Each structure stands twice: as structure tokens, then as C-alpha cells.
Structure 1
Amino acid sequence: MFIHIGDDHVIQSKDVVAIIDQSLMSSSSIIEEMIFNQRKNKRVVETEENNAKAIVVTNDIIYFSPLSVFTLKKRANMMSTLNKLEDFSEEME
């Protein structure tokens, strides 16, 4: 399934490694170093207005999202719930 993470970016949920609150970036040297290195490799997608609330780490790219961690978590959980539902659409015809 796919998750809309804001700024017209849609990613596959299976590629998500972590969703981190943006405020943790300044308190963690490991996160700062990871983002610094990925920026050098041009593997970071910034928000359009630099109003990031969350950092979405995928297998290939790091995205700064204007959506909160809570909102992204709800969207990811909604997708997993939808995956578990059975499809009865053929029976209705």
C-alpha cells in the first residue's frame, strides 16, 4: 500500500524504515549525521516551506514531512487495516 506523506509525496508503506519526530533531530547526533550524509548524496527530500514536523526514513530516501508523526502513524495503520478487510465487491454484482 501507499502512504501520502505530504507535499505531493506518496511512498510505499513497505519501504518505510522509521518515522521520527523532527524535534529529535537536534537532540540526536546520530540522526543529524545520518541526514548530513544523505544530503551529501542527494537522498533527502525537504518540505516545500521548511515546515517539517516529521522525518520519514525509507530504504533509499529521507523525506521531511509537514505532517505530524501521529498523522503519519494513523495513515499507516489505516492502510494495514484496509489490507485486512475482505473484498466482497464481486458478490454485490
Structure 2
Amino acid sequence: MYIHLGGERIIRSSELIAIFDLSIEKNSKISKQFVLEAAKDKKIEIIGEEECKSLVVTVDKVYYSPISSATLKKRAVSLSVNG
């Protein structure tokens, strides 16, 4: 199964680790450090040109998505229920 993250980016649901609201990056030192390390390793991808609303962590990358974390979570849950 696949999850559409916005723009033209689709990931396999099996690669998904976590979906966060973007505010976590500002409010958590640990999250901020995690994102900085991913950026150093060039594992960050910004999807589209719209304002980013969520952070999607996968096995290989961290995506900044223009789709809200609530919507992405609903998509992931519907896949696990229907899949």
C-alpha cells in the first residue's frame, strides 16, 4: 500500500515510521536535533512549494509535507484497517 504525502510524492506504507505536526520541530529539542542530523546526512525532502504542515519520518528520509498531520494519519490508519 502507498500513502500520498502531497505534490507528486508517494511512499510505501511499510516505510512509514512517524507523522508529526510541524510544530514539534519548534517545541522539542530532540526533534530539532533529529531534523538537523537528517539535514546533515541530506535525508530531508521538501514536498511542493506550499507551506509545510507536517513532518513525515520514513526509513530513509524525512519529508516536509504540505498536507496536515491529521490528514496523513487518517490515510495511514485507513490503509492499516483496509489493508
TM-score calculated relative to the size of structure 1: 0.82
> Which amino acid in structure 2 is aligned with residue 18 of structure 1?
A
Kindly provide the amino acid, as one letter, of the partner of residue 64 in structure 2: F
Matches of 2:28 and 2:52 in 1, distance apart? Answer: 17
Higher strand fraction: Structure 1 or Structure 2? Answer: 2
1:54 lines up with 2:54 in the alignment: yes
Identify unmatched segments of 5+ residues in structure 2: none
Question: After superposition, where does 1:1-93 map in structure 2 within 5 Å?
Answer: 1-49=1-49, 51-83=51-83
Structure with max Cα Rg? 1
Q: How big is the alpha-carbon RMSD for the aligned residues of Structure 1 and Structure 2?
A: 1.2
Could you give the per-residue CA deviations for residues 28-70 of structure 1, whole angstroms, max 9, x where no partner exists?
1111111111111110001332611110001110001100111
Aligned pair count reads 83
* 1:50–1:26 CA distance, 2 compared to 1 (3 A): farther
Compute the TM-score of the two structures, normalised by the length of structure 2.
Answer: 0.91
1: CA distance, partners of 2:26 / 2:50: 15
